[in-house]
A and B are shown apart, each in its own frame.
Chain A
Amino acid sequence: MSDDEIVKEFLIESHENLDRLDHDLIVLEKDPGSRDTLASIFRTIHTIKGTSGFLAFNQLETLTHAGENLLAKLRDGLLTLTPEITTALLAMLDAVRQMLASIEATGAEGKRNNQELIETLARLLAGMETKSDCEPPKEQPQLDNLSAPAAAANTGDIRIVDVPTRSVDATAEYPRTAEIQIEPCTEIAAGKSVHKHPVYKYEDTQEKPQDAAETLHAQHPAHGQSVSDSTIRVDVGQLDRLMNRVGELVLLRNQIVQYTNSTEDSELLGTSQRLNLLTTELQEGVMKTRMQPIGNIWSKFPRTVRDVALSCGKQARLEMEGKETELDKTIIEAIKDPLTHLVRNAVDHGIEAPAVRRAAGKNLEGCLFLRAFHEGGQVNIEITDDGAGLDYEKIRNKAIQKGLITGDQAARMTEREIANLIFMPGLSTAAKVTNVSGRGVGMDVVKTNIEKIGGTVDVQSKPGLGSTVRMKIPLTLAIIPALIVTTSGDRYAIPQVSLLELVRLEGEQVRNGIELVNGAPVYRLRGRLLPLVYLSRELAAEPSPPNAQPSSTEADTSEEIQSVNIIVLRADDRRFGLVVDEINDTEEIVVKPLSKQLKSIDTYAGATIMGDGKVALILDVLGLAQRANVVGEVRDRAVMEKEGKQKAGAADGSRCNAVLLFQYGESERMAIDLALVARLEEFPSDAVEIAADQKVVQYRGQIMPLIRVSEMLESRHRKAVENAPQSLQVVVYAEKGRSVGLVVDRILDIVEESFVMQRQTGRTGVMGSAVIQKRVTDILDVPGLIAVADHGQLLAGMQG
């Protein structure tokens, strides 16, 4: 290992350790008696000190040494933690960070003056010593001078005696402590003491390889158990390259599978099937290696919350749930800053001052709750505070004042819409601008950054009770599901996250369905106007003027066209319909970046290689929408206004719900909550196979059990109609990565209506009924139905 590499290792290790220290110190402040935490903090600082001595970073060493002295007293119980000490220690961490950053950038520690800080630390230490004069000194003051060479000499030594629950690095500068006093809970092995305790020597030789591994893998440097021998640290670049190769393998696999599907050779088919499965597993495996728990970035937040709360005179604590939720490393990086901003904001704006809280009868200490969990292939992150909630009136007035909305619009907006105005640029309701927030930049940047990685962000608030900001983030950016479409003979991929639904106009509708608003094509989707964008026209070299009449050629061809395919997309909370020639299929695609020259065109998000080896462009839905002017300022407002009206109408206690209507049996009508529907599929009836006495189909590399809704719902004595249709209409319901297919007889419609459901428990699989489209319609209870249909084998995964 060269010197450079040693320094690099040291930097990586130290950064990780410091992150944990922030967290540890806050924990310690809450629980000053925690010896474990103290020991851990002490150990970390000591390691940094030792290594910096060894690498001749003297300033760093002096500073950490001062901190270490203080920590030693704390650890030994000679000093109790005060906020002052915590602040000094945190300041020391910041100084250490700065010096590390300087080392990283320039190779030298920089010209930082730490004298004041060192004096503060020394003063705090001295404050203790005057108090504890009578106690036997456990440390010789003059050791300060000795420690540098001693620590340096000690760095290469065997340092740890692994004890199942706790271990503390032995330190040469406390020889007396080591020799004389062995605390019951802490074993200390020092270079010197080894000679006096042969049994340690034996242990040491055994522990040595493990110790080396532990230094290598310092991000979990054992709160006790050694995980070191089962993990290694890998360069991210290496993983990226591996991921790339796997991406190529996936593409190659797609090609092979496509090719073999056209052959009769059963051996080849079998082999390609195995290749198919293996590749999928490999892909998942490699993706997993890039996954990191969100706790890695959350660990900084206790300190953020503490600092912000302190600086604005508030009391706040942080609770977290779902720390272990994993996300791709690139995504973790991308959401770090937005999350930090939201956390700071929640403390600064959300949580009230203690006096206000007391007046409101709340606990003086505000609570910030972070929650992360997986749902439907995405990660949800929620930041909830129990503060004052958003002041709708203030936001409304501010938005009007800033000219973001008109008074007329504001009057019609629902609370939720007003709440989401905080994500608009230029809106800040902070009464005074603090150094934390209130400058009117930030929330819009949060939104932009989250949307850049294909996520969404939304805020909900109850006055007096607090607010919740909810983000939905994709798991990974490298491989995404996408819809493949064809226009003008070229194929394009549309990321499925932006996809809302597909609409196909046939026959009469082709001519009458599309109407013009001053020349701009629109379609009435469930009573609301959906602006239409013709992909072929947007991608034509000459951009058409926004309000142009459809060109004569298109008008001519639409006479002959049998059907129109509209893809309803979401961009920036607005909907628009993209008209394409053909909708092909959905596929998992590997996102490849475009070269620099093409990046400036924001209509494309990247490119991918299709099963036949050809390249297809990935459309950037937001870029396309902007190009087509469907998310422009003017229309924004129109849509917002409209939505405001719609939702206001639904605010009278009934629910405005989107449901899928289907028919089962001979003429029974039933509705299913659209939120439960993953996809609608059609399978040829001969695709149905039997496994474990259950009808199943092969679906996206999985075995999907089928439940015939009519069989489940029809009264037991009536036999379901078995006229064996050519194809099965299947509503796919997905949960926890498993899918279940609900076989219905006919898909009728999707309606968005406000209705009140009357609960009814008499029938299995029926949640209740409501009046939908002026007819009484039963609403399907999907989980209930599955529970009844479950034979315990295939659906076992869903019920767990």
Chain B
Amino acid sequence: MTNVQQFCTFFLQDQFFGVPVQQVQEVIRYQEMTRVPLVPPVIRGLINLRGQIVMAVDLRRRLGMEDRADGELPMNVVVRTDEGAVSFLVDEIGDVLEVEESCFEPPPGNVRGRVRAVILGVHKLSGHLMHVLDVRKACDLTESVDTVPDAE
């Protein structure tokens, strides 16, 4: 039997991403957020997840993409990290996919920009590619603190 891994998938600006399901706590619809002044813009705010206060990181900003148009509400992918739960704001949620490990490949040399720093690699699926997000790096905001996203 080959090694099969399950991924929770989502979209960001029509690009397809995945996070191993083991790292995902839950997926919830848009939650109202409390703005946190003085923090890097990637942190969109704090949400109340059943009494737990969770920081929401906008993956579009984290990856240096354009902001969502006004009125387009993001979804929350809540992941577990060593520092507690963090919510990733994404455009749309995809299916949970079972993917064979054999179709994984590290990022090719020509992948540039912020995306390269926060993906582990890609899974070659039939018809399209899935970016595998490095949750730990995506939550590490120290390097992105001083860089203002293009959209701002």
**Which A residues have a C-beta under 8 Å from some C-beta of B?**
247-248, 251-252, 490-491, 539-541, 592, 594-598, 601, 603-604, 607, 609, 613-617
User: Is the Cβ of B39 less than 8 Å from the Cβ of A598?
Assistant: yes
The interface bits of chain B over 41-63 (1 if a CB of A lies within 8 angstroms of the residue's CB, else 0) are 00101111011111100000000
- How many CB-defined contacts (below 8 Å) exist between A and B? 60
Q: Which residues of A contact B48 (CB under 8 A)?
A: 609, 613-615
User: Is the Cβ of A614 less than 8 Å from the Cβ of B37?
Assistant: no
Q: Which residues of A contact B32 (CB under 8 A)?
A: 614
User: Is the Cβ of B51 less than 8 Å from the Cβ of A248?
Assistant: yes
With A595-B84, A615-B46 known to touch, is A603 a contact of B51 (CB < 8 Å)? no
User: Is the Cβ of A490 less than 8 Å from the Cβ of B83?
Assistant: no
User: Is the Cβ of B53 less than 8 Å from the Cβ of A594?
Assistant: yes
Q: Which residues of B contact A247 (CB under 8 A)?
A: 51
Q: Which residues of B contact A594 (CB under 8 A)?
A: 53, 55
Minimum CB distance partner of B40 in chain A = A597
A597 and B44 alpha carbons, distance in the complex (Å): 13
Interface hits, B24-38 → A, CB 8 Å: 32-38
Q: Which residues of A contact B37 (CB under 8 A)?
A: 490, 539-541, 603
- B77 interfacial by beta-carbon distance below 8 Å: no
Q: Which residues of B contact A616 (CB under 8 A)?
A: 34
Interface hits, B5-38 → A, CB 8 Å: 32-38
- B141 interfacial by beta-carbon distance below 8 Å: yes
With A609-B48, A609-B51 known to touch, is A595 a contact of B39 (CB < 8 Å)? no
B28 to nearest A CB, angstroms? 14
User: Is the Cβ of A252 less than 8 Å from the Cβ of B39?
Assistant: no
Using a Cβ–Cβ cut-off of 8 Å, how many residues does chain B contribute to the interface with A?
24
User: Is the Cβ of B55 less than 8 Å from the Cβ of A597?
Assistant: yes
User: Is the Cβ of A248 less than 8 Å from the Cβ of B50?
Assistant: yes
Q: Which residues of B contact A603 (CB under 8 A)?
A: 37-38
- Which single member of B38, B50, B53, B139 contacts A615 (CB below 8 Å)? B53
User: Is the Cβ of B34 less than 8 Å from the Cβ of A598?
Assistant: no
User: Is the Cβ of A597 less than 8 Å from the Cβ of B38?
Assistant: no
A603 and B36 alpha carbons, distance in the complex (Å): 10
User: Is the Cβ of A598 less than 8 Å from the Cβ of B36?
Assistant: yes
A621 to nearest B CB, angstroms? 15
Q: Which residues of B contact A615 (CB under 8 A)?
A: 33-34, 45-48, 53
- Which single member of A251, A491, A609, A617 contacts B36 (CB below 8 Å)? A617
- B86 interfacial by beta-carbon distance below 8 Å: yes
With A248-B50, A609-B51 known to touch, is A601 a contact of B38 (CB < 8 Å)? yes
Minimum CB distance partner of B84 in chain A = A595
A491 and B141 alpha carbons, distance in the complex (Å): 25
Q: Which residues of A contact B36 (CB under 8 A)?
A: 598, 604, 617
A601 to nearest B CB, angstroms? 6
B27 to nearest A CB, angstroms? 20
User: Is the Cβ of A595 less than 8 Å from the Cβ of B55?
Assistant: yes
Sorted nearest first, the 7 A-B pairs with minimum C-beta distance are: A248-B51, A539-B37, A615-B34, A615-B46, A596-B83, A592-B53, A595-B55
User: Is the Cβ of B53 less than 8 Å from the Cβ of A597?
Assistant: no
23 A-B residue pairs with CB within 8 Å: A248-B51, A251-B51, A490-B35, A491-B34, A541-B38, A592-B53, A595-B86, A596-B83, A597-B39, A597-B55, A597-B83, A597-B141, A601-B39, A603-B37, A603-B38, A604-B36, A607-B53, A614-B32, A615-B45, A615-B46, A615-B47, A615-B53, A617-B34
Minimum CB distance partner of A249 in chain B = B51
B61 to nearest A CB, angstroms? 14
Q: Which residues of A contact B53 (CB under 8 A)?
A: 592, 594, 607, 609, 615
